[in-house]
């Protein structure tokens, strides 16, 4: 079983994938091509994705039963004791100029919130 998920990719790439896979939702393709065809499809997706992102998931003989690859994705697959997990990079909290400065009392923060 193979699943390819496209985000913000050209429409021509989606049309190309419908030759071998079934599009079950916008940008989500599923099918059972051979390993050779799957690798050729993935190389085409990487070449023509442009500014878009892509995710490939396919079944394999591992502990999890599947493996995945990403293209231009912020989340990266990482190996953790034999299991492949997704690592999401930490994003710093967004602060605005209207937030009270750290160290203010709870009462001052409540008064600040009433304004």
Q: How far is residue 82's CA from residue 57's CA, in Å, rounded to a whole number? A: 17
Residue 13 is assigned to a structural domain of this protein:
yes
Residue 115 is assigned to a structural domain of this protein:
no
Question: Structural domain of residue 7, as residue ranges?
Answer: 2-89
Residue burial 40-56, b: 16+ Cβ < 10 Å; e: rest: ebbeebeeebeebbbbb
Residue 82 is assigned to a structural domain of this protein:
yes
Residue 108 is assigned to a structural domain of this protein:
no
pLDDT in tens, 91-102: 776 666 566 566
Residue 63 is assigned to a structural domain of this protein:
yes
Residue with the two structure tokens 């100029």: 97
pLDDT in tens, 15-68: 999 999 999 999 999 999 999 999 999 999 999 998 999 999 999 998 899 998
Residue 38 is assigned to a structural domain of this protein:
yes
Q: What is the pLDDT of residue 100?
A: 56
pTM of the complete model beyond 0.95? no
- In CATH, what number is assigned to the domain containing residue 45? 3.30.70.240
Q: What is the pLDDT of residue 76?
A: 83
Q: What is the pLDDT of residue 98?
A: 64
- What total of structural domains would you count in the chain? 1
Secondary element (H or E) of residue 56: strand 53-59
Q: Between residues 109 and 100, which one has the greater pLDDT?
A: 109
Residue 111 is assigned to a structural domain of this protein:
no
């Amino acid at each position: 079983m193979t699943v390819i998920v496209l985000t913000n990719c050209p429409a021509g790439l989606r049309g190309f994938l419908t030759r071998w896979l079934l599009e079950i939702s916008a940008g989500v393709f599923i099918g059972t091509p051979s390993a050779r065809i799957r690798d050729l499809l993935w190389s085409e997706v990487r070449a023509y994705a442009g500014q878009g992102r892509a995710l490939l998931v396919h079944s394999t003989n591992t502990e999890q039963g599947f493996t995945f690859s990403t293209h231009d994705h912020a989340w990266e697959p990482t190996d953790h004791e034999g299991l492949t997990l997704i690592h999401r990079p930490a994003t710093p909290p967004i602060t605005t100029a209207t937030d009270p400065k750290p160290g203010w009392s709870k009462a001052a923060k409540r008064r600040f919130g009433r304004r």
